[in-house]
Amino acid sequence: MKSYAIYDEGLDRIEPIGYLFYYEKSESFIIELCEDLDEWDAPLLFQKLVREKKYTVSRDISLMWVKERVIPSGRQNIGSILKNHKLKDYSEMAMLSLSKGRCSQDDCYIVEIDEERVPENIKERMRRNLQECFPTEDNQLVCLFKDDVVKKVELSLLLRQYHELSHVLKNRKMLDSFTIGAGGYSIIFNDSIEIQVSDLRIAGQPLPLTTGDFYNFVRRNVLDTTKTCGMLQCTRQNLSYLVNESKIQPILRGTKENLYLKGEVEKMMNE
C-alpha cells in the first residue's frame, strides 16, 4: 500500500484535507478525508459526503477523483507519453504521480508519505475495516473486523440500499464467491456488487466472540493431512481410503493436502 497526503493550495490550511491510499495488487484507490474538513472547503466531488459526515470515500468515487486528474488511457498520443516518461504500461497511479495529482478543476495536489505519518485517527478508522468474512448456511455473513468486533449480517436488511443483492440471495454460488475489497473497505460479489464496510457494521448484530476466538479455533481444531495421519497413526494412503469410504471427511480438499476437524479425527480414533 502506498500513502499520499492530499493538500489544497486554495485553502488557508497547512494540514492535508485527506489521505489517498493506493493498493498496488488490486490497483484500487481509497480516500480518507479529515474530519475537520468543512463542506465548502471540500472538493466538489466530496461535498455531499462531508455534509453527511461521511469521511471515508468509496472505491468508485475515489477512482473518479483520480481519473479527473490523470491523462486518460484512450488519449491519441498516450504511447508517446508513456515512452517519454519511460513507462512500460499505463496505470492511473503512474499518471497521478507524474502530475502530482494536480488538475485544472481545483488546487489539490498529493505528496507521498510514509505510513507512519498517517494520523492516528485515520488509522483508527481503518481498523474498523474487515479482516475476514464468511457466509453461513442461512445466507447470512459473519464479519470479523480488524478491531476485534464480530457481527452477523442479515443481507436482506441491505436490499433497500443495494438492490442488486437480490440476485446474490437467490444464488448460493454467487454468495460464496465474494471477495474482500482492498484494505477491507468492502465486500464484492461477482466483481460488480460492492457493499461498504460501514453498512455491514450498521446492519450487523454483535456476536459474543472476537476475531481472536476464530483464529484460536482454527489453530487448535483444524488439522492438515500430516497431523491427521499422525493422530490416526496411519499412512496417507490409508487416510485416503478412509476418506473414500466416507469414514472421515475433510472440511477442505486440496490437490496435495486436505484439512480436517480435530473433533472428527478424535471421533475416528475412538471407533
**Can you tell me whether residue 6 is helix, strand or coil?**
strand
- Please state the length of the chain: 271
Look at residue 62 in the predicted model and tell me its pLDDT.
Answer: 95
Cα three-residue angle 123-44-182, rounded to 5 degrees: 35
Look at residue 269 in the predicted model and tell me its pLDDT.
Answer: 81
176-196: per-residue pLDDT in tens? 889 999 999 999 998 889 999
Report the DSSP beta bridge partners of residue 2: 22
**Can you tell me whether residue 127 is helix, strand or coil?**
coil
Q: With b meaning 16 or more CB within 10 Å and e meaning fewer, what string describes 78-105? A: eeeebeeeeeeebbbbebbbeeebeeee
Look at residue 228 in the predicted model and tell me its pLDDT.
Answer: 93
The residue written with cell numbers 478508522 in the block is 125
In percent, the amount of the chain with pLDDT more than 70 equals: 100
**Can you tell me whether residue 132 is helix, strand or coil?**
strand
Q: Rounded CA gap, 56 and 198, in Å? A: 9
**8-state DSSP, 168:** H
Give the Å distances, CA to CA, from 239 to 112, 174, 214, 219, 266.
Answer: 54, 33, 27, 21, 14
Q: Which residues contact 14 (CB under 8 A, 6 or more apart)?
A: none
Of 15-19, 85-89, 119-123, the poorest mean pLDDT is in 85-89
46-59: per-residue pLDDT in tens? 999 999 999 999 99
pLDDT at 108 over 90: yes
In percent, the amount of the chain with pLDDT more than 90 equals: 68
The residue written with cell numbers 499518471 in the block is 95
Look at residue 32 in the predicted model and tell me its pLDDT.
Answer: 97
**8-state DSSP, 252:** B
Grid cell locating 130: 474487515
pTM attached to this predicted model: 0.83
236-259: per-residue pLDDT in tens? 999 999 989 888 999 999 888 899
Look at residue 271 in the predicted model and tell me its pLDDT.
Answer: 67
Answer whether 244's CB lies under 8 Å from 236's CB. Answer: no
